[in-house]
Amino acid sequence: MRTEIRNGWVVDPQHPGHARAGSIWIEGEQIIEAPAEEQAADESVDASGCIVMAGGIDIHTHIGGGKVNLARMLQSSQPVDERTVWPTRQTGRLYNDIGYTSCFEPAMLLPTARHTHWELRDTPGIDSGAYVVLGNEDWLLRQLGQGIETAQLDALVGWAVSASRALAIKVVNPGGINAFRFNQRQLDVDERHRAYGVTPRDVVRELTASAVRLGLPHPLHVHASNLGVPGNIESTLATLRAAEGCPIHLTHAQFNCYGTEGKFGMSSAAERLSRFVNQHDNVTLDVGQVLFGQTVTISADTRAQYENSRFADGKRWIVSDMGASAGCGVVPMRYEDDRFVHSLQWCIGLELLLLIEDPWRVFLTTDHPNGGPFTCYPHLMRLLMDKSFRQDQLGRIHPDAAGMTALQEIDREYTVDEIAIITRLAPAKILSLDDRGSLVPGQLADVSVFRRHSDWEATFRDCVCLVKNGRIRSDALSGIDAGRLLSAAPEFDRGVVEKYRELLSSAYGCSLGGLEISQTELDEIYRN
Amino acid sequence: MKLLKQTTAGYSGNYSLADSVDRIVAKLPTDKKTLWWIDSADVQSTRQIIQIAEARGDDIHIGQSTSTGLQRRVSESTGWLGTTLAEATGHSQLVITLGSEVETELPQLGKQLTRAESTWIHLGEWRCEPVKPDYVIPVAVSDLYALLTEVLLRLRYESLSQRDADSQLLYSAITESDYTTVLWSADQFNDDIDELTLRRLVAISHLVSQTQRLCLLPIEANPGRVTASETLSWLTGYTPSVSLHDGQCRSQVERAAWPLERFRKAFRCIVMLRSVAAAAPLPRVNADVSIVPAGFTESAQGEVVEVTSVGLGAAGHLMRGDAALTVFHDGTFDDVSGTSSNERIAGPPSAIELLSELRHRIQLSTGAHTHRSGAVELGGGRR
């Protein structure tokens, strides 16, 4: 099957036909060179009046796994259309509706990885992957505290990635979730864990280096210490320095970007963090933008979520330690534009996106659903691309927050090229996904076509044609069509892992085999 | 969770996969809705049921104990601080077990707790020798509320004078522990009176957690029920009961409170599924078809279709009672009890095989896999 998407305005800085009307040709699952004149298309899409981009890539979105399902259960009395955490099939369709085709679950726990994979498998229309959470296990922290050899650490980390079929590793509040199990309620970057003697700096340093040595596709993905705490910019910068020059990715950075100035004891530290990022090219971050409205926060950071439960909108919350690994906290939240803290958070996310100069190192996310649902991405894009609209929205928030932010003075407007970079090209690069993110021939045929409207939000909400793996998405598709799972296969020393067999089995309460997802098993999941 | 052995005893052995599917299809009405009642199932089987029900426009109900509804009602009005077995056996300085069911549901728990470096207090009778808790407070379930209230008030108002040795013991143990897990069988608390006890536990958890850690862990006795609920939730957004008529999914949560006879009156046909062997009898809804593990057909109603049980001869994914772990069973059953069984029995298909075949048959007959194809024109508006 050969498909032509013709007359659309191509938006892809890497494409030779960028920024002009042209055709994108697809054959099978790939984008191809334009064929000779006499070869017609089997299927033709008239994209006149439209912009054509690669399928969007969301590098951090909570869409599959135990705590996501807990959030669904907590919202189960609401009609599905009124929620911010949807059933998996609706999640896939909603992502396709805004032109996204690849999404990544950032918090997969080793003992519940199968659950995550089932939910990702049952999210149609997108390829997906997950990051396995490490950095709060008793067995790991004990080893780090005793001084584990790098080869052994690499074997254990490589095993965890391989066993769980993850794409990358993520650390959440390094050492801090575990410390909370010992009733240690604070663990700053250079503070020692009362049981194991390690610091968050130790954890970050070792895991960032291990990720590099293992050749993982993505740097260590870091949910930093002290999330949500005023003044946490200090620990955030210390965390980034802990990488000692290794690539490091700071996730939902907005929640870790607070100073302590002003009468409310909380201020924006976006300028400091942006300056640091601009000066350190080993650092990337995704923003975790807050958008006003009702949502639910989902996190593996039990300590932070326990603190958050005080601010829950309603009493339907759950916080739980989880399987000797991290934890899970599901807390409903309503962000209001007349509240100082929420307004400041809204400002900080935008400041980060506008002050970080390199669009290849900053990524558009809301940490769905924590800052807001991903369905708000078109609104966020408009805020970045339309200064007058942004200023208008700034006028509606809490005046003290507006007065403290640099947003008023920022003239920058994202171009559509830059939007393509931060939502397609750059995510593909940071995840080492060489086959997508662009429209150049040879790439995977994930294409989104948006009808151009007078404002960018309306444009990015109007995805008139979505192509996934070369097939045009049809609303008539039934069944549960799975996307592909993208995972890493690091090499590691199995012999080292065998030495830790008893330790790992005891920690998780099951056999090592029970933790390892075989290829046969994975095929079975995707076959059904 | 109870480990059961499946044998060929009682298996009729007369039906092939195709015959088994034929027998089910013969019972399914074409003009009225069917209720697919899931008593206990693995992920794969549940997914097949959902797709079958969608293709036919039927309803699905996951059998619930009253305890499940009770816990949900409490947690949704108070918030919940939870934990898992790994923390209970590996992290807790104090483990408090309570009630009469926990030792039978988790026969190996006692061994793990005595190995662990924690203090273990049991509230209730303890019969499982030789493993014994460090302390046993032989309080009846009916007296738990009074004991917990005493402890709660003591924790809240430290100046209260000591009332009795039992509450003093509990109070002291809790205040000296940095991490406490309170653990019980989820089926222990069932009704409005039990709810008072459960709310006392939650109140203690919330109060103590301001300065120390105290988490709650009800162990679900029926992993297949947990598994089916989770699967239905992620695919439809609802649990435990849905209607899939007219291509729409609607919650029917009120059915959780229905008496059994009401289901019989509401549906022309009821198909009961239990893909995981269990000792408890099936709910008496007078099902038209019962898909049950061979050898465990005693309480099955209507047309009985036998399958090999997940975990005892067939592979499938089940969630553990604390929902912490989804384990792949490939003819073995490896859980926190550490017990394993590797008996494969010949004969019946697995529920997954059976339901997959049934699904294909139904989807073919209803045309549920039809795709649109051809040229796409974007004259205006979205396709």
Give the gap in angstroms from C-alpha B351 to the nearest C-alpha of chain A.
Answer: 13
Tokens of B52: 């079958």
Cα A206–chain centre separation: 22
Q: Is B256 helix (H, G, I), strand (E, B) or coil?
A: helix
Range B145-149 average pLDDT: 94
Residues near B26 by Cβ (< 8 Å), separated by ≥ 6?
none
Best of B73, B234, B319 to mutate (most A CBs within 10 Å, chain A): B234
- In this predicted model, what pLDDT tens digit does every residue of B208-217 receive, in sequence order? 999 999 999 9
Give the gap in angstroms from C-alpha B362 to the nearest C-alpha of chain A.
Answer: 13
Structure ipTM: 0.94
Give the gap in angstroms from C-alpha B377 to the nearest C-alpha of chain A.
Answer: 6
Which residue of chain A comes nearest to B254, CA vs CA? A77
Residues of B in contact with A464 (CB under 8 A): 378, 381-383
Which residue of chain B comes nearest to A453, CA vs CA? B381
Range B71-97 average pLDDT: 87
Whole-number percent of chain B with pLDDT over 70: 82
Q: Residue B344: what pLDDT?
A: 41
Residues of A in contact with B372 (CB under 8 A): 474, 476
Choose between A185 and B334: higher pLDDT.
A185
Residues near A345 by Cβ (< 8 Å), separated by ≥ 6?
A254, A255, A290, A335, A371
Q: Residue B324: what pLDDT?
A: 56
Q: Residue B332: what pLDDT?
A: 39
The interaxial angle of helices A88-97 and B223-236, nearest 10 deg, is 20
| Residue from A102, A93, A89 nearest A59 by CA | A102
Nearest to A182 among B178, B211, B239 (CB): B178
- In this predicted model, what pLDDT tens digit does every residue of B148-171 receive, in sequence order? 999 999 999 876 666 688 888 999
Tokens of B329: 């069973």
| Beta strand B269-274 pairing with B179-185 | unpaired
Cα-trace Rg, chain B = 24
Interchain pair A77, B253: CB under 8 A: yes
SS3 content of chain B, % helix, strand, coil (to 5): 40, 20, 40
Confidence band, pLDDT 50/70/90 cuts, at residue B115: low
Mean pLDDT for all residues in chain A: 93
Whole-number Å distance between alpha carbons of B92 and B94: 5
Range A277-290 average pLDDT: 98
Confidence band, pLDDT 50/70/90 cuts, at residue B192: confident
pLDDT value at B10 more than 70: no
Nearest to A122 among B80, B235, B352 (CB): B235
Say which range, A193-207, A285-299, A508-522, has the weakest mean pLDDT. Answer: A508-522
Range B300-322 average pLDDT: 85
Instruction: Report the DSSP beta bridge partners of residue A321.
Output: A327
CB count, 10 Å around CB of B29?
13
Residues of A in contact with B215 (CB under 8 A): 320-321
Give the gap in angstroms from C-alpha B145 to the nearest C-alpha of chain A.
Answer: 23
Interchain pair A318, B82: CB under 8 A: yes
Residues near A299 by Cβ (< 8 Å), separated by ≥ 6?
A67, A107, A172, A223, A227, A305, A328, A329, A370
Interchain pair A324, B90: CB under 8 A: yes
pLDDT value at A310 more than 70: yes
Q: Letter for the amino acid at A91?
A: T
Interchain pair A509, B369: CB under 8 A: no
Range A271-288 average pLDDT: 98
Residues of B in contact with A319 (CB under 8 A): 79-82
- In this predicted model, what pLDDT tens digit does every residue of B354-381 receive, in sequence order? 999 999 999 888 775 432 222 122 222 2
Which residue of chain A comes nearest to B176, CA vs CA? A183
Q: Residue A362: what pLDDT?
A: 98
Q: Is A216 helix (H, G, I), strand (E, B) or coil?
A: coil
Interchain pair B315, A524: CB under 8 A: yes
Q: Residue A382: what pLDDT?
A: 98
Say which range, A104-118, A361-375, B309-323, has the weakest mean pLDDT. Answer: B309-323
Torsion, Cα B171 B175 B179 B182, to 10 degrees, reads 10
pLDDT value at B147 more than 70: yes
Residues near A37 by Cβ (< 8 Å), separated by ≥ 6?
none
DSSP H/E element including A145: helix A138-146
Residues of A in contact with B229 (CB under 8 A): 73
Report DSSP letters for A353-405, one per residue: HHH---TTSEE---TBTTSS-GGGHHHHHHHHH-HHHHHHHHTTS-HHHHHH-
Whole-number Å distance between alpha carbons of A292 and B356: 44
Give the gap in angstroms from C-alpha A424 to the nearest C-alpha of chain B.
Answer: 23
Q: Where are the alpha helices (DSSP H) in chain B?
A: 17-27, 43-56, 66-78, 85-90, 102-105, 109-115, 141-156, 165-176, 192-208, 223-236, 260-266, 351-366
pLDDT value at A500 more than 70: yes
Give the gap in angstroms from C-alpha A199 to the nearest C-alpha of chain B.
Answer: 20
Nearest to A509 among B78, B336, B371 (CB): B336
Whole-number Å distance between alpha carbons of B35 and B142: 37
Q: Residue B247: what pLDDT?
A: 86
- In this predicted model, what pLDDT tens digit does every residue of B21-79 receive, in sequence order? 999 999 999 988 999 999 999 999 999 999 999 999 999 999 977 787 788 888 888 89
Residues of B in contact with A465 (CB under 8 A): 376, 378, 383
Torsion, Cα A464 A466 A470 A476, to 10 degrees, reads -90
- In this predicted model, what pLDDT tens digit does every residue of A213-240 receive, in sequence order? 999 999 999 999 999 999 999 999 999 9
Confidence band, pLDDT 50/70/90 cuts, at residue B313: confident
Which residue of chain B comes nearest to A86, CA vs CA? B237
Nearest to B239 among A76, A312, A322 (CB): A76
Integer angstrom CA distances of residue B150 from A194, B155, B157:
33, 9, 10
Whole-number Å distance between alpha carbons of A467 and A448: 6
- In this predicted model, what pLDDT tens digit does every residue of B339-359 receive, in sequence order? 333 444 457 899 999 999 999
User: Per residue, what are the HEC states of A454-523?
Assistant: CCHHHHHHCEEEEEECCEECCCCCCCCCCCCECCCCCCCCHHHHHHCHHHHHHHHCCCHHHHCCCHHHHH
Instruction: Report the DSSP beta bridge partners of residue B218.
Output: B184
Interchain pair B47, A528: CB under 8 A: yes
pLDDT value at A151 more than 50: yes
Whole-number percent of chain A with pLDDT over 70: 98
Q: Residue A128: what pLDDT?
A: 97
Best of B46, B242, B253, B326 to mutate (most A CBs within 10 Å, chain A): B326
Choose between B187 and B291: higher pLDDT.
B291
Interchain pair A510, B325: CB under 8 A: yes
Whole-number Å distance between alpha carbons of B182 and B122: 10
Residue A8 sits at φ, ψ, to 5 deg, of: -90, 155
Instruction: Report the DSSP beta bridge partners of residue B10.
Output: none
pLDDT value at A124 more than 90: yes
Interchain pair B378, A47: CB under 8 A: yes
Q: Residue B159: what pLDDT?
A: 64
Nearest to A320 among B82, B233, B238 (CB): B82
Q: Is A103 helix (H, G, I), strand (E, B) or coil?
A: strand
Interchain pair A45, B249: CB under 8 A: no
Mean pLDDT for all residues in chain B: 82
Whole-number Å distance between alpha carbons of B218 and B190: 12
Choose between A77 and B180: higher pLDDT.
B180
Give the gap in angstroms from C-alpha B220 to the nearest C-alpha of chain A.
Answer: 16
Interchain pair B249, A80: CB under 8 A: yes
Residues of A in contact with B44 (CB under 8 A): 524, 528
Give the gap in angstroms from C-alpha A281 to the nearest C-alpha of chain B.
Answer: 39
Which residue of chain B comes nearest to A320, CA vs CA? B82
Q: Residue A528: what pLDDT?
A: 62
Nearest to A318 among B80, B91, B231 (CB): B80
Nearest to A509 among B82, B85, B215 (CB): B85
Q: Residue A38: what pLDDT?
A: 65
- In this predicted model, what pLDDT tens digit does every residue of A234-248 receive, in sequence order? 999 999 999 999 999
Q: Is B63 helix (H, G, I), strand (E, B) or coil?
A: coil
Confidence band, pLDDT 50/70/90 cuts, at residue A196: very high
Confidence band, pLDDT 50/70/90 cuts, at residue A369: very high
Range B14-26 average pLDDT: 89
Q: Residue A36: what pLDDT?
A: 80
Which residue of chain A comes nearest to B366, CA vs CA? A478
Give the gap in angstroms from C-alpha A92 to the nearest C-alpha of chain B.
Answer: 11
Say which range, A119-133, A206-220, B3-17, has the weakest mean pLDDT. Answer: B3-17
Cis omega before residue B130 (within 30°)? yes
